[in-house]
Structure 1
Amino acid sequence: MRATLVQIDVDTEETVADRRERAARLVRAQAGADLVVLPELWPVGAFAADAFAAEAEQAAGGPTAAVMGAAARDAGVWLHAGSVVERDFSQEGGPLYNTSLLFAPDGTLHTTYRKIHRFGFDRGEAVLMTAGDRIATARLPQAVLGLATCYDLRFPELFRLLLDAGAQVLVVPAGWPARRLAHWRVLVRARAIESQAYVLACGTAGTHAGVEQAGHSMVVDPWGEVLAEAGPGEQLLTVELDPARVAATRAEFPVLRDRVLGMPTP
C-alpha cells in the first residue's frame, strides 16, 4: 500500500482558491499511490480563526470537495483531503465544524469526520466550532482507516474506539505549532505503539495567522518505528506500507488481548 503525505505550506499571501488549485495539482501528481493525505484546515489555516466563518463551506458540494474530488478521480487515488471549515447550512447561522473529507478513487465523497476534540482553551476553534459526536472509519481495499484530527492525538481513548472499530491505519491531519514539535513526535509514536497500527500524521508547513507550523509529518509503523519524517518546509512523503504487518505485530506481541478497562461490550 503506497501512501503519500502532502505537507503543504499554508502561505498567507496565497488566496484560498489558488491554494485549492495548487493542492489539486500536487494530488494529481501522485497517480500510482493508493492513498494521499493532506493536512488539517489547509485551505484557510488552522489558526486563522478570524477567517473561519467567511471560508465555511459544505462538506459535500462545497468548493474544496469539488476540487479535491476531481483531483482524486484524475489521479485514481483514495484521497484524505485533510479538513475544511464546514457549516451546517440546513439552518440560518448553522454551526461550524472542523470536518475531514475522504474521497474514493472515482471522486465521490466516501467518509467525513467532524473533529471531536477542539483546540483553543476557550479561544479560536474551541469556541467557534462545534464538536463532532462520532468516530469515523473507512474500509479501503488494503486496510481499514481510522480518522482523527490534530488535537485528537492527545486523547488516547478516541484511538481505542477506532481500534475496536477495526482500524489498522490511523490517519491524522494536523496544523500543529512548531513550539510543541516535541509533543507531536512523542504522541504520534505513542498512538502507533498503543494501537499496534500504522499512523500517518500529516501537518502543515510555513507560518499562518502568526503561528509557525511544525511540519515534520510522520509515518510510524505498528511497532512504533518512524518510517519517514519530513522537515519543516513543504514536502511530500511517500512510504510503502504492509497492512499485514498490523496483524503480525499484534500476534507477535499480543498486548491488546490483556486489556481490562474500557473493553467493548460483546
Structure 2
Amino acid sequence: MRASLLQIGADDAESVASRRTRVASLVREQSDADLVVLPELWTTGAFAYESFAAESEPLKGPTYEVMARAAADTGVWLHAGSVPERDPDGTLYNTSLVFAPDGSLAASYRKIHRFGFDRGEAVLMGAGSELVTVRLPGTTVGLSTCYDLRFPELFRGLVDAGAEVLVVSAGWPERRLGHWTLLARARAVENQAFVLACGTSGGHAGVAQAGHSMVIDPWGEVLGEVTGAGDAVLSVEFDPARVGVVREEFPALKDRRPHFRA
C-alpha cells in the first residue's frame, strides 16, 4: 500500500474557496497512491475559532463536493481531513470525511475529544460518540483526529474493531511538537499498528503549526517523516500484512486485561 500524506499550510490570508481548489489539485497529483490523507480543519485552520461558525458547512457541503470529485478523478481512497460540519440542528462538529475511489462517501467521523478545555473547540463544537473504521482492500483503517491522540483507550477501541492502520488527522501546535512525535509512536507500539499522522503547517490564527507528518510501523519505527513545518507531500509504501507478523511474533495484545477498572 502506498499512502500519501499531504501536509497542508493554512495561511490566514488565503480564502477557504482558494484553499479547496489548491488542495484538490494536490490530491489529483497523487495518482500513484492507494490512500491520500489530509490534515484536520485545513479549510479554516484548527485554531481559527472565530471562523468555525462562518465557514461551517453541512456534511455534503462544498468541501464534500470538491473532495469527492478529486477522489473519483484520481481513483484513490481519500481521507479528506476534517471540516467544521454544521448539523441540521445547528450543532457544529469537527468531522472527518473518507471517500472511496469512485467518489462515494465511505465514512465520516465526528471528533470525540475536543481540545480547548473551557474555550475554543471544546465549547464551540459538539463531541462525537462513535468509533469509526473503514475497510480498505487488504486492511482496516481506524479514524482519529488531533487531540484524540492523547487518549489511548480510543485507539484500543479501534484495534478491537479490527483496525490495523490508525490515521491521525491533526492541526497540532508547534510548541507541543515533542508530544506529537512521542504520542504517535506510542500509539503505534502499544497497538502494534501502522500510524499515519498528518498535520497542518503554517499558522492558524497566529498559532504556529507543528507539521512533521509521519508514517510509523507497528514496531514504532518511523518509515517516513517531514522534518520541517512547511507544505509537503510524504509518500510511503508499506505492507499492512506486517501488522499480523508483529502481533504474532510479539503477542502483547493477547495479555491485555481490559476488565480492570478503577
Corresponding position of 1:67:
66
Q: Matches of 2:124 and 2:138 in 1, distance apart?
A: 37
Instruction: Find 1:254's aligned residue among 251, 254, 257.
Output: 251
Deviation string, structure 1 residues 142-182 (Cα, Å, up to 9, x no partner)? 21000000000000000000000000000010000000000
What is aligned with 1:218?
214
Structure-2 separation of matches of 1:113 and 1:58:
14
Count of residue pairs brought into register by the alignment? 259
Q: What's the C-alpha RMSD, in Å, of the aligned pairs?
A: 0.8
> Does residue 1:160 correspond to 2:156, yes or no?
yes
* Equivalent residue number for residue 98 of structure 1: 94
Please list, as runs of the form range in 1=range in 2, the aligned pairs for 1:16-31 lying within 5 A after superposition: 16-31=16-31
Contact 1:32 1:76 in 2 (8 A): no
State the match for 1:112 in structure 2. 108
Distance 1:158 1:204 in 2: 22
- Structure 2 residue identity aligned to 1:257: K
- Using the alignment, how far apart are the partners of 2:25 and 2:36 within structure 1? 12
SS of match in other structure, 2:117: coil
State the match for 1:233 in structure 2.
Answer: 230
1:262 offset after TM fit, Å? 4.3
Work out the CA distance in 2 between the residues paired with 1:254 and 1:129. Answer: 39
Classify 1:262/1:164 alpha carbon distance in 2 versus 1 (closer, same or farther; 3 Å).
Answer: farther
What is the SS of the residue equivalent to 2:45? Answer: coil
| CA pair 262-212 structure 1, distance change in 2 beyond 3 A | farther
Amino acid at match of 2:26: L
> Quick one: which amino acid aligns to residue 76 of structure 1?
G
1:244 corresponding residue in structure 2: 241
Matched, 1:135 2:131: yes
In the TM superposition, residue 207 of structure 1 has moved relative to its aligned partner by: 1.0
* Residue type at the aligned position of 1:139: R
Q: CA deviation at 1:121?
A: 1.1
Distance 2:125 2:170 in 1: 16
Task: Look up the equivalent residue of 1:6 and give its one-letter code.
Answer: L
Residues in 2 aligned to 1:228 and 1:111: alpha-carbon distance in whole angstroms: 26
Q: Where do 5+ consecutive residues of structure 2 fail to align?
A: none
TM-score w.r.t. length of structure 2 = 0.98
How many percent of aligned residue pairs carry the same amino acid? 68
Q: CA offset at residue 32 of structure 1?
A: 1.8
For residue 58 of structure 1, report the CA deviation from its aligned partner.
Answer: 1.2
For the residues of structure 1 that align with 2:42 and 2:207, how far apart are their CA atoms?
A: 14
- SS of alignment partner, residue 109 of structure 2: strand
In structure 2, how many angstroms separate the alpha carbons of the residues matched to 1:31 and 1:183? Answer: 32
Relative to the length of structure 1, the TM-score reads 0.96
Output the amino acid matched with 1:134. Answer: E
Q: 1:144 to 1:123 in 2, by over 3 A?
A: same
For 2:72, give the aligned amino acid: R
Q: Which amino acid aligns with 2:136?
A: L
1:41 match:
41
Secondary structure in 1 matching 2:31: coil
- SS at 2:201's partner residue? coil
Q: Deviations over 1:45-82 (max 9, x none)?
A: 000000100111111x2000000000000110000000
The DSSP-based 3-state class of the residue aligned with 1:206 is strand
